[in-house]
Amino acid sequence: MFTSAAQPPLPAAQTHPRRRRGRDALGGWAMVAPFLILLLVFNLYVFGSGLYLSLTDQQGINAGDFVGLENYRDLLFADEFKAQDLYRAIGTTFLYTLGCLATQVPVAFALAYVLNTIPFRRLRTALRAAFFLPVLINTVVIALLFRMFFNRDQGIVNQLLGALGLPSHVDWLMNSQWALPLLVVVSFWQWTGFHTVYFLAQLQTIDPALYEAARLDGITPFGALLRITLPLMRPAITFVMVTAAIGGLQMFDLVFMLFPNATYGPGGVAKTLVAYIYDQGFSQQFLTGVASAIGWITFLIIAAVSILQLRVLGLGKHGEA
Amino acid sequence: MRRASLALLMLALAALARDAGAAEKRKVTLWSFAPNNVEEYQARKADIEAKFNIELDIQVVAQDAFVQKLQAVMLDGKGVPDAIEWLIENNRILNANPKKSFVLPLDEYLKSSKDFAKVVPGRIAWTTYGGHVYGLPHDVHPVVLIYNDTLWKAAGVDVAMLETWDDFFEASKKLTAEKSGGKPLHYALPYGNDGLANSMFMIWQQSGSQILDRSGAPTVSSPEFTAFVKKWLEWQKTDAFTMWDWGNFKALLANGTLASYTSPDWWVPQVNLASTGNDTGSTTALGDSKAEKAEVKYQFRVRPLPTYRKGGPAASSWGGSFMAIPRGTKDPALIYKIIEYMEYDQSALKTRWEKTSMLPPFASVWEDPMFKQPDPRFGGQKLGELMVATAKGLPKVNSGDIFWDVINDFAAQYTEIASGKISVEEGLAATQKKAEYRFQQLKRM
């Protein structure tokens, strides 16, 4: 809060400090109560009921019986097909997530760095808006657009390849080698701009005087990037890395829509963890108990990855938010 | 004065009695995924309501959310519809065990039904699980071959003279010979390259190979199905196929990219734009399409499907829907009568063909003159007559609890087979292994 020195001092409180603190606390609780109620109803209750479901053999419209950890045991090792599908889905999800992080984060950073050096404000604003635009488009629409682009016979990608004299009869959507790279490409197009804007915002908070002082000390531009920019960008990098990883580990809509007939790519090679949940819970035999167990496994994986990232990237240290 | 009072009293009582009657009307809710079918029911709504003294509430529920929504209301026990109309294929709600099925077996009502006995048996097979009939089929959906006679003749092929699919794909080499940038200008058939789906699904039925045997056990690795898959892969090497493109189907026909397609009755209107230059925005199972205009450049013709082997059946079906009664519905006997009337009343059967171009599943109405009308889209050929002839020879497919799961498992293997990464035998053995596992799981439940 900013106050002017010219303003008169606030009147001193007349009430007892302890009573005032109690009233303040009550007021605080009243302010957060709506959120807490919503949190309890829509998060904690759902968490709890999901956990209970995962311990039952609920299928379809039958409530099912309590089976303890049977679903987890089947998924992790006891049931050959379920375990095989689960580990495959985990592998696919991690590969996709790593692909996204490895492509989106460095490119977004580079774009932000370049954008930040553009002296013309209007051009910078226009480019920033252009990069951000794909985020505003619904993922389903994006998936359908790219499905058209990569269509074997009518798609623009093969037409361009043909015009360049390259093989132009590639069945991108039905080749198991291309399924994951395609997902990474589409995701790159959709999300890189979002990360760029975030990086750019953080870059603009860095005091130019730091660079000025460093230049006087004879630091090279690359040295300034390493010693000034990157350390000061750590909160943004951490945020982008964590949110991008969570987004990657939760991938569903794109993989569901990009490939025809909800096949999750040829041979199901792009079936991610969340797609596997849908597959078990809603698409095949309505194994709600099993789907809930996969949901909890997914949650634990995401939590572990996020904690690991926060530890490695060191967010929260040195007073960072 | 006393007489007048008495008359007034009588009138008031009569009005009250009528209101009470109206208040007693039971509200019957029907969920349907098919907007075009609903058009038919809405047109007959007043008649249905009057006949059964009900208030009929027909709701279109999005296909993508249908089963999930039904599951949610059934688990909750509130808002469960009295009747549903749902997809025959990939339905996911029928189960050989009536306790696990979303809908009631209709066996006890069917015994006394005169109308149901007239339904084409090949159609009933799709809603029969574990010997229980769960649904009343709405349609037959026989498949015919629609082709661009102009383009095929220009390539030197008279499609009407081709007997088998082998002949067809051999002849298609002439059609696809004309190329641009290394790719054919015209393709013989569309196919999604996604396993036993669309064109492959329609032609597979002609082969007589089954996915399940009559007991519901998987037979994916049978010599018959293996031979069919090998044959299909041979055909795929001929350059005959272009991708099945739902959104651009009619445009591909109109611009000549797609020169022929296997079509059930509900998919025939895709040719309207190409054959008449005017598509009025007909409704299909996939929803409304926009009105479009195009230049008429080609003459289209229609014929029965070529056969899989010489002398084999020229029939198959694709798609379809059925009406059923969700578990927990009050007074299912009444609901059965209502849905039977909606599906099989004589007037409805004729309206169905006139309004939706869908052949009703009653052989008894197929002799009606309306099925013998020349169709201008095909140079005056009688499409209705051809559909009827095809419907009479529909092959019987063994359906069952794991049928659609096995189809999906096969699709997962198919792309690996098609790309040459694994052999047909390996792919089918893997599918069979998983199918047997599913079958065993089912028995344990």
For A2-54, give the DSSP string: ---TTSPPPPPP-S-HHHHHHHHHHHHHHHHHHHHHHHIIIIIHHHHHHHHHH
pLDDT at A169 over 90: no
- Smallest Cα distance from B391 to chain A, Å: 27
CB pairs under 8 A between A and B: 86
Closest CA to B133 of B102, B114, B108: B108
Cβ distance A284 to B434 less than 8 Å, yes or no, reads no
- Smallest Cα distance from A283 to chain B, Å: 8
A253 touches chain B (CB under 8 A): no
Question: Does B229 share its domain with B339?
Answer: no
**Average pLDDT score over residue span B54-80:** 92
**Average pLDDT score over residue span A14-24:** 76
pLDDT at B219 over 50: yes
A222 touches chain B (CB under 8 A): no
Is residue B328 situated within a structural domain?
Answer: yes
Q: Choose the closest CB to A61 out of B75, B252, B418.
A: B75
Q: Is the pTM of this model over 0.90?
A: no
In this predicted model, which residue has the larger pLDDT, B227 or B348?
Answer: B227
B411 touches chain A (CB under 8 A): yes
Handedness of CA B342, B348, B349, B351 (dihedral sign): negative
Question: Does B263 share its domain with B153?
Answer: yes
pLDDT at B119 over 60: yes
Question: Does B325 share its domain with B420?
Answer: no
Closest CA to A153 of B148, B296, B192: B192
Question: Does B272 share its domain with B335?
Answer: no
Specify which residues B183 forms β-bridges with.
B180
Name the band, by pLDDT with cuts 50, 70 and 90, for residue A1: very low
Average pLDDT, chain B: 89
pLDDT at B5 over 60: yes
Angle made by CA atoms A25, A26, A30, in degrees to the nearest 5: 115
Q: What is the largest CA-CA distance in chain B?
A: 99
Chain A residue numbers with beta carbons less than 8 Å from the beta carbon of B415 are: 174-176, 266-267
Is residue B18 situated within a structural domain?
Answer: no
Contacts of A82 (CB under 8 A, 6+ apart): A74, A75, A290
Lowest mean pLDDT among A290-294, B19-23, B291-295: B19-23
Contacts of A130 (CB under 8 A, 6+ apart): A193
pLDDT at B227 over 60: yes
Q: Which domain does B238 fall in, by range?
A: 143-317+401-444
Number of domains chain B contains: 2
Question: Does B159 share its domain with B215?
Answer: yes
Name the band, by pLDDT with cuts 50, 70 and 90, for residue A66: very high
**Average pLDDT score over residue span B275-292:** 66
pLDDT at B401 over 60: yes
Stated as kind and residue range, the H or E segment containing B86 is strand B83-87
All domains in chain A, ordered by first residue: 79-319 (1.10.3720.10)
Question: Does B54 share its domain with B119?
Answer: yes
In the 8-state DSSP scheme, what is residue B328?
T
Cβ distance B415 to A60 less than 8 Å, yes or no, reads no
Name the closest residue on chain B to residue A152, using Cα atoms: B243
Work out whether strand B292-293 and strand B241-242 pair parallel, antiparallel, or are unpaired. Answer: unpaired
B183 touches chain A (CB under 8 A): yes
B420 touches chain A (CB under 8 A): no
Name the closest residue on chain A to residue B411, using Cα atoms: A267
pLDDT at B201 over 80: yes
Name the band, by pLDDT with cuts 50, 70 and 90, for residue B442: confident
> Which residue, of B392, B416, B433, is where some domain finishes?
B392
> What is the reported pLDDT for B347?
78
> What is the reported pLDDT for B180?
83
**Average pLDDT score over residue span B158-185:** 94
CATH number at residue B357: 3.40.190.10
**Average pLDDT score over residue span B284-288:** 46
Chain B residue numbers with beta carbons less than 8 Å from the beta carbon of A253 are: none
How far is CA B107 from each of CA A261, B111, B213, B333, rounded to the nearest angstrom?
33, 6, 22, 11
Q: Which of residues 85-144 of A touch B (CB under 8 A)?
A: none
Specify which residues A115 forms β-bridges with.
none
Question: Does B160 share its domain with B299?
Answer: yes
Chain A residue numbers with beta carbons less than 8 Å from the beta carbon of B410 are: none
Is residue B9 situated within a structural domain?
Answer: no
> What is the reported pLDDT for B286?
46
Is residue B17 situated within a structural domain?
Answer: no
- Smallest Cα distance from A246 to chain B, Å: 26
* Distance, CA of A254 to CA of A270 (rounded, Å): 10
How far is CA B9 from each of CA A200, B17, B365, B386, rounded to the nearest angstrom?
84, 12, 51, 64
> What is the reported pLDDT for B282?
54
pLDDT at A190 over 90: yes
Where does residue B358 fall: left (phi above 0), alpha (psi -120 to 50 degrees), or beta otherwise?
beta
Chain A residue numbers with beta carbons less than 8 Å from the beta carbon of B179 are: none
Q: Choose the closest CB to B183 out of A59, A60, A169.
A: A169
Neighbours of B166 (CB within 10 A): 17
* Predicted confidence (pLDDT) per residue in B43-52, tens digit: 899 999 999 9
> What is the reported pLDDT for B287?
45
A154 touches chain B (CB under 8 A): yes
- DSSP string computed for B193-232: SSSS-HHHHHHHHHH---SB-TTS-B-TTSHHHHHHHHHH
**Average pLDDT score over residue span B145-159:** 98
pLDDT at B398 over 80: yes
> What is the reported pLDDT for B126?
87
Q: Choose the closest CB to B100 out of A60, A267, A268.
A: A60
A62 touches chain B (CB under 8 A): yes
Is residue B7 situated within a structural domain?
Answer: no
Backbone angles phi, psi at B242, to 5 degrees: -115, 165
How far is CA A155 from each of CA A29, A170, A235, B20, B365, rounded to the nearest angstrom?
57, 10, 41, 64, 45
Cβ distance A152 to B243 less than 8 Å, yes or no, reads yes
Closest CA to B186 of B150, B161, B218: B150
* Predicted confidence (pLDDT) per residue in A194-216, tens digit: 999 999 999 999 999 999 999 99
**Average pLDDT score over residue span A206-235:** 92
B292 touches chain A (CB under 8 A): no
Judge contact between B346 and B120, C-beta under 8 A: no
Chain A residue numbers with beta carbons less than 8 Å from the beta carbon of B187 are: 153
Is residue B6 situated within a structural domain?
Answer: no
Chain B residue numbers with beta carbons less than 8 Å from the beta carbon of A268 are: 412
Question: Does B128 share its domain with B156?
Answer: no
Cβ distance A176 to B416 less than 8 Å, yes or no, reads yes
* Distance, CA of B392 to CA of B122 (rounded, Å): 9
**Average pLDDT score over residue span A153-159:** 89
Is residue B81 situated within a structural domain?
Answer: yes
pLDDT at A247 over 70: yes
Question: Does B258 share its domain with B343?
Answer: no
Is residue B110 situated within a structural domain?
Answer: yes
Residue type, B96: A
> What is the reported pLDDT for A174?
83
Name the band, by pLDDT with cuts 50, 70 and 90, for residue B118: confident
A164 touches chain B (CB under 8 A): no
B412 touches chain A (CB under 8 A): yes
Question: Does B271 share its domain with B165?
Answer: yes
**Average pLDDT score over residue span A264-274:** 90
> What is the reported pLDDT for A3?
40
- Smallest Cα distance from B83 to chain A, Å: 16
A175 touches chain B (CB under 8 A): yes
* Distance, CA of A237 to CA of A30 (rounded, Å): 35
How far is CA B399 from each of CA B199, B207, B243, B384, rounded to the nearest angstrom?
19, 16, 27, 27
Specify which residues A207 forms β-bridges with.
none
How far is CA A98 from each of CA A176, A273, A297, rounded to the nearest angstrom?
18, 15, 19
Chain B residue numbers with beta carbons less than 8 Å from the beta carbon of A174 are: 193-194, 415, 418
Question: Does B135 share its domain with B204?
Answer: no
pLDDT at B17 over 80: no
* Distance, CA of B51 to CA of B347 (rounded, Å): 14
pLDDT at B21 over 70: no
> What is the reported pLDDT for A2?
39
* Distance, CA of B225 to CA of B245 (rounded, Å): 26
Name the closest residue on chain A to residue B413, using Cα atoms: A267
pLDDT at B396 over 90: no
**Average pLDDT score over residue span B314-322:** 93
- Smallest Cα distance from A46 to chain B, Å: 15
Helix or strand or coil: residue B285? coil
Question: Does B55 share its domain with B78?
Answer: yes
Cβ distance A169 to B248 less than 8 Å, yes or no, reads no
Contacts of B345 (CB under 8 A, 6+ apart): B44
> What is the reported pLDDT for B19?
55
